[in-house]
Structure 1
């Protein structure tokens, strides 16, 4: 398949390294060049700042990310885990170089609605920023794969609630899934789509791809969304990483 048929996204890793200290502005460009070499690509479609804890100032990060666009190494740039305030700050800094902030990627699912309840999701809509969700299925907790007797691995830390507490959520998702003739996974992903969110999911098996694709081509009713909202979890933020 031609390269233009794929959308490839990667991230600028923000945990401080020598590159960040010696080349604070050039670090995003240098790291992207390394990623492109490793991937065997000339460019990526989307390049994100992985988190808000970078040692560089917003001004320097924005300048470095803008340079990646100017050199044609990425088509657009975004951020991840940014709060509303920091997202707006980055958007304003990028605008100085004529580069839009395209994406803010944060954890969002039925088990973590904090970006919606905090106003971050609305801010993205108002500013033309795509809100992209990771852990859209709460690392498998919203697929029906796990139960209180078969919990997920302890390493699955996002939305790591006890499965017994999640059972009311799964019961609602399953009831809607059975009524519509789709998978529980499809209902959970469609919920994100109905909120105006672009969900990111991991696929390792063919059946997972089939379940995920069942989320397309339809939308939950307002009544079904209210049912899910009623059993959903707000989740929380952390000062170190998940600020958004």
Structure 2
């Protein structure tokens, strides 16, 4: 079980900045009917508290047995390293950094964040691993995704060469296109997070397991991939 500390400040967060992560986790556990969560993440880097304050609050969650591990989401390399160092003061490791990563957003790899995670023993999780339906072939230039699907929001006409290659590789391995896109993340050493709304989506996603793209196929995908971009407030990866 994984949940997040929502970072948009409320009055009680301002009055009790260090205790805010713990208080919110206690509320979440009551709502879930659980005694603890496996991973508790800081949802983003825009919290009003300093990283040292957030680290102390997150460490309290682990030391009180309410979270097995803690992590962050959307943290830059600099902020991630700072959080790891602050958590270490309480003998709590930083388990993960969850950022956008897919064939259409390789910024965490290009920026050096992925390599830093590997060197520091931090698991890089990817959200929007299928670019909100743009990679599995659900959307095309004639069937555009909803406007609120903002991650990796490139013109679908520009994405056609990417999906054409993924489809070619999928046929080669006899798997769905989504399985190729997710396997790409796995081959990079990334743990993909992916939404499931239908039973067939679960089966398609699971088809990414038990095999690996060849080095040549990875290079082919790299050749048509997008670097992606960060934003000032949120996507720092």
TM-score when normalising by structure 2: 0.99
| Equivalent residues in 2 for 1:28-67, closer than 5 Å | 28-67=21-60
> Who is 2:63 aligned against?
70
SS at match of 1:202: coil
Q: Distance between the aligned counterparts of 2:197 and 2:108, measured in 1?
A: 27
Is 1:130 aligned with 2:123?
yes
Task: Name which of 109, 123, 128 aligns with 1:116.
Answer: 109
Q: 2:181 aligns with which of 165, 172, 188?
A: 188
CA distance in 1, matches of 2:150, 2:30: 31
Residue of structure 2 in register with 1:3 after alignment: none
Cα deviations by residue, 1:157-202 (Å, 9 ceiling, x for unpaired): 1001111010000000000000110000000000000000000000
Q: What residue is the counterpart of 2:216 in the other structure?
A: 223
Please give the residue correspondences for 1:205-220 in structure 2 after superposition, counting only pairs within 5 Å: 205-220=198-213
TM-score, normalised by the number of residues in structure 1:
0.96
Query: How far, CA to CA, are the matches of 2:148 and 2:44 in structure 1?
Result: 20
Deviations 1:80-99 (A, max 9, x none): 00000000000000000000
The residue number in structure 2 matching 1:176 is: 169
Aligned counterparts of 1:113 and 1:129: Cα–Cα separation in 2 = 18
Residue 191 of structure 2 is aligned to residue 202 of structure 1: no
Deviation string, structure 1 residues 18-51 (Cα, Å, up to 9, x no partner): 1210110000000000111111111110000000
The corresponding residue for 1:141 is: 134
**Stretches of 4+ moved more than 4 A in 1?**
none
**Alignment of 1:104 onto 2:78:** no
List alignment gaps of at least 5 residues for structure 1.
Answer: 1-7
Count of aligned pairs: 237
